Amino acid sequence: MGDRRVSHWWTAGGLLILVWALFPLLWMVSLSFKDPNTFRSESPTFFPKQWVWTNYKTVFSDSLFTSALRNSIIVALVATLLSVIIAMFAAYAIARMDFPGKKFLLSMALAIAMFPQAALVGPLFNMWRNLGIYDTLLGLIIPYLTFALPLSIWTMSAFFRQIPWEMEQAAQVDGATAWQAFRKVIVPLAAPGLFTTAILTFFFCWNEFLLAISLTSTDRARTVPAALSFFTGASQFQSPITAIMAASVVVTIPVVILVLIFQRRIMAGLTAGAVKG
């Protein structure tokens, strides 16, 4: 009886946390369907009295948002692909090989991941202007890659450590080269780790704001999180709040769907290596 009562308390607590976490998202969706001309003049209601698509039409007719959405997709995909490829080889070397400074290298990777981005904005701003890559997609991909690599290496090295060393040795005994054993045996077995790393890296690049707002100045390379701060309504007489909410829904809902679909793989990647069998 006591265990059942405790389980009920845990269920109630979980539902409370779920409601607390979902409330901002539901409020954002609700605002995105409210009429921008009247939503402030009416008495406040959680759900709109009249559901309209005006805000979404405004968003997709604005070149600021469409160009930012394109930039976000390009930057996030390129940074994710490069991060996964580089981290795959680095994590394999850390997990499989013994070389001087291996623990120091992994510790430095974690130190970089914890280093505050705000401290690097000023130096990066000056460097990028001198190098001619300020306000370019390359100028965003490089720092995104720098901050995404430590987490990618840490996650993937845990997966590589779980793969039995004997499987790679057996492939080499059968005549496979070291590269063939790595490509045909190790990489397929580490696919869940690669997938998890790709998802986490993509989320980081997709949601990053500080570097995106500091290292861009025009629509040429500005990503969605930065572009939303410059977003306006359909005219100067309309409040931009509902349009901003519509744009936020467009870029948030796909991420939420990905998390719900691949939550088990994400958790597997975060907890890999936590228990030694």
C-alpha distances in Å from residue 160, one per residue of 53, 148, 176: 48, 18, 19
Lowest mean pLDDT among 100-114, 138-152, 259-273: 259-273
Mean pLDDT of 201-222: 89
Which tokens go with 96?
Answer: 């499989």
Q: With 0-12 CB in 10 A as exposed, 13-18 as middle and 19+ as buried, what is 260? A: exposed
Position 236 pLDDT exceeds 70: no
Q: How confident is the model at residue 276 (pLDDT cuts 50, 70, 90)?
A: very low
Backbone angles phi and psi of 181, in degrees to 5: -65, -40
Most confidently modeled range among 138-147, 179-188, 227-236 = 138-147
d(CA 241, CA 237): 12
Instruction: Give yes or no for a contact between 243 and 55, defined as CB atoms under 8 angstroms apart.
Output: yes
Position 198 pLDDT exceeds 50: yes
Residue with tokens 């991420």: 255
Q: What percent of the chain has pLDDT over 70?
A: 90
Read off the pLDDT of residues 67-97 as tens digits, 9 standing for 90 and up.
999 999 999 999 999 999 998 888 888 887 7
DSSP helix/strand/coil, 62 = coil
Q: How confident is the model at residue 275 (pLDDT cuts 50, 70, 90)?
A: very low
Superfamily of domain 63-230: MetI-like (1.10.3720.10)
For residue 266, the model assigns a pLDDT of 64
For residue 7, the model assigns a pLDDT of 76
pTM: 0.82
Ordered by start, the domain boundaries in the chain are 63-230
